[in-house]
Amino acid sequence: MTANSTSNSTSNSTNTIYQDKKFFIINGVTLIAIMGGHTIAPILPTLSQTFRVSPHEIELVMSVFLMPIAIATPIFGILADRVGRKQILVPSLILFAIAGGFASFAQDFNTLLAWRFVQGLGAASLESLALTMFSDLYSGKAMIAAMSFNAALIGMSSTLYPLVGGALAGLSWRYPFLLSVLALPVAMLVLMVLKLPKMQNERQFKLNTYLKSTWSSINNRSVLGLLFAIAAIFALQFGAIITYIPILAGVSFGAPAWVNGVILGSMSVSLAVIASRLGALTSRVSEITLIKLSFIISAVAFAIIPAIHNAWLLIVPVMLFGVAQGLALPSSQALLAGLAAQDSRAGFMAVNATVQAVGQALGPVFAGIAFGFWGMQGVFFASAGFAFVSHTFFSSMLAPKVPSAVSATRSTIATQSAEAVPVEPRSTSIATPTINLQVPSSSHPNPLTSPAHSATQSVSPAPTVLQLQQARLFHVATNTAIELPPHLAIIRLGKHSDRISPDIDVSGFPNAQVVSRSHASIRVEGDNYYLQDMGSSNGTYLNNHPLLPGNWYKLRPGDSISLGKAQVVKFLFQLA
């Protein structure tokens, strides 16, 4: 999807978005999108008693709501790109409100499940379309501010919704479902007030091209690893936490619905606190490391639950899981943000939302299977094991793989370059070039611009003739130019050790302690150059955007390359 030139020309200031009514209407859509899950989860024990169904059966109240979201979200994403955002959004809000209203008058469990399924269809497009509309309307710092506010709003509402749902359930289990009718005034605001830019491709939409573009953004080892991480976190949240923590507290410990609301609300509090400090955390460790750490914290949180015998003590593991979410979700979304091709943005967001919904839907199902085999304690031990397995699988998916062709290439040049020579900062007669560091969004690193989606593909042999262009890295802080060896197909950047000898040793530069021994690689294919992070501890950044390990990102003259956080070891890529 591409918006016309006027789509966000007046919405680039962070000051103006808070005066823009469109901004608040879209945030209203987000509030409706997350209402259907968080207000209902605390009343599951009450529903189990009201309809006289087992804890294993009551999880269907969540599953039948989440399943249509997983199935219909990509379909609505395509339709929104084809016929327009509002044409999908308004009917979805109305359907959500009507289904929730009728669910509140259900007289039996099967009727309740039927209306929850219909309500899930209404919710399917809401969250992904809200994110897409932010991208349609805002750019630059304004879009970052809009997304940050939206994330904070989700955190706050995730805290308040369980409290509201639990409090209303104290009056009647029907009232939490009646909250859904608030979607009707939001639908009217979208219809009457919300003005969206027209899309350039509405008239030339081709489904085959659209699907290919979206699939090319997804069919990538690292992208699939990140999507798996998102699905796993949501599966753990909606399985063990959202579904079975209230059952454990309500049925086993006799806690009322409002206590369940407090317990679940504590998760969102810790999530919001950690997410607000994520900037400081990512200045020290990479986003990928934080995602890995989140799975370890999740495993610990679930492992201690069977030892707890008081409802209020459940706040401790629930808050620990909130910490894990605060580390994993913003980090994974930040890494995914720059990977979608512009013409398939809405489709990519729909797939991302679908993956979340799949995790949300499968979590209660898998937790229910564990409950059937091993009982309540088995749910949490199985969740701890799944978190540990997810950590291992995610690490393997994000681990860079050096192509076999590299070894062959290196063996032929061993006599020419037996050992790397450390590069010492020096004064140079080369003046600092005039380079515009305000890189446009269209040139943000995207591994899909490379002919290879991952490092597992073979590398073209090194050129046998002198390159027409001499590539070099210019160290900004010391005014030092480093010419890239012309005889290598793969050029390794890092620090010398007894086991590793990089082609370019940066240990002599200031702040080199943030650089890993095997930090990054530059790949040469004719006159084209590609950059890859080699699973470094502190990450590699291209134009301030974090790189996914194992993916090749095309370099352009003037691109900035930072080895580690905070741009303390920063180079400019140049062609002379």
Q: What are the domain boundaries of the chain?
A: 14-197+213-398, 404-575
Look at the alpha carbons of 219, 223, 225, 230 in this order and tell me if their dihedral is positive or negative: negative
What does R_g of the chain's alpha carbons equal in angstroms? 26
Q: Regarding predicted confidence, which is higher, 140 or 6?
A: 140
Beta bridge partners of 574: 472
Average pLDDT over residues 235-255: 89
What architecture is the 404-575 domain classified under in CATH?
A: Sandwich (2.60)
Cβ neighbours, 10 Å, residue 21 = 11
Lowest mean pLDDT among 28-37, 55-64, 407-416: 407-416
Q: What is the pLDDT of residue 205?
A: 62
Cβ neighbours, 10 Å, residue 9 = 11
- Nearest Cα neighbor of 263 from 308, 319, 306, 305 is 319
Q: Regarding predicted confidence, which is higher, 34 or 424?
A: 34
Residue type, 129: L
Look at the alpha carbons of 346, 241, 294, 235 in this order and tell me if their dihedral is positive or negative: negative
Q: Regarding predicted confidence, which is higher, 361 or 217?
A: 361
d(Cα 178, Cα 100) in Å, to the nearest integer? 6
451-475 pLDDT, tens digit per residue, is 333 333 333 444 444 445 689 999 9
Instruction: Scan for tokens 């909606």, then name that residue.
Output: 238
* Vertex 321 angle, CA 316 and 327, to 5°: 130
| 213: confidence class by pLDDT, cuts 50, 70, 90 | low
Average pLDDT over residues 111-134: 90
The two structure tokens encoding residue 177:
């479902």
Q: What is the pLDDT of residue 192?
A: 92
* Vertex 548 angle, CA 523 and 395, to 5°: 115
**Helix 315-337 vs helix 287-304: crossing angle, to nearest 10:** 160
Q: What is the pLDDT of residue 13?
A: 52
Q: What is the pLDDT of residue 79?
A: 84
d(Cα 301, Cα 386) in Å, to the nearest integer? 12
d(Cα 332, Cα 338) in Å, to the nearest integer? 11
Lowest mean pLDDT among 136-150, 254-268, 275-289: 136-150
d(Cα 565, Cα 559) in Å, to the nearest integer? 16
Average pLDDT over residues 476-495: 90
| 376: confidence class by pLDDT, cuts 50, 70, 90 | very high
d(Cα 212, Cα 96) in Å, to the nearest integer? 31
**pLDDT of 349 higher than 80:** no
Q: What is the pLDDT of residue 189?
A: 95
Average pLDDT over residues 367-386: 94
The percentage of residues in the chain with a pLDDT greater than 90, rounded to a whole number, is 32
Q: What is the pLDDT of residue 414?
A: 37
Q: What is the pLDDT of residue 32?
A: 94
Q: What is the pLDDT of residue 401?
A: 58
**Helix 21-38 vs helix 109-123: crossing angle, to nearest 10:** 150
Q: What is the pLDDT of residue 31?
A: 93
Q: SS3 of 210, please?
A: helix
64-102 pLDDT, tens digit per residue, is 998 888 788 888 888 887 788 899 999 999 999 999 999
Residue 330 is given by DSSP the state H
CB 520 within 8 A of CB 502: no
- Nearest Cα neighbor of 35 from 175, 158, 169 is 158
pTM over 0.85: no
d(Cα 490, Cα 407) in Å, to the nearest integer? 10
492-518 pLDDT, tens digit per residue, is 999 988 888 889 999 989 998 889 988
Considering 255-269, 299-313, 423-437, 533-547, the range whose residues carry the highest mean pLDDT is 299-313
Beta bridge partners of 475: 480, 571
Q: What is the pLDDT of residue 273?
A: 79
Residue 249 is given by DSSP the state I
Fold (CATH) for 14-197+213-398: Growth Hormone; Chain: A; (1.20.1250)
The two structure tokens encoding residue 248:
């454990």
Cβ neighbours, 10 Å, residue 373 = 10
| 182: confidence class by pLDDT, cuts 50, 70, 90 | very high
Q: What is the pLDDT of residue 18?
A: 78
Q: What is the pLDDT of residue 340?
A: 58
d(Cα 457, Cα 453) in Å, to the nearest integer? 8
d(Cα 41, Cα 44) in Å, to the nearest integer? 6
| 274: confidence class by pLDDT, cuts 50, 70, 90 | confident
Residue type, 157: S
Strands 553-554 and 471-475: unpaired
* H or E segment and range at residue 266: helix 257-276
Cβ neighbours, 10 Å, residue 246 = 30
Lowest mean pLDDT among 140-149, 303-312, 439-448, 520-529: 439-448
Cβ neighbours, 10 Å, residue 104 = 18
Q: What is the pLDDT of residue 208?
A: 75
**pLDDT of 36 higher than 50:** yes
| Residue 335: CA count within 13 A, CB half-sphere | 27
CB 466 within 8 A of CB 527: no
Q: Regarding predicted confidence, which is higher, 423 or 336?
A: 336
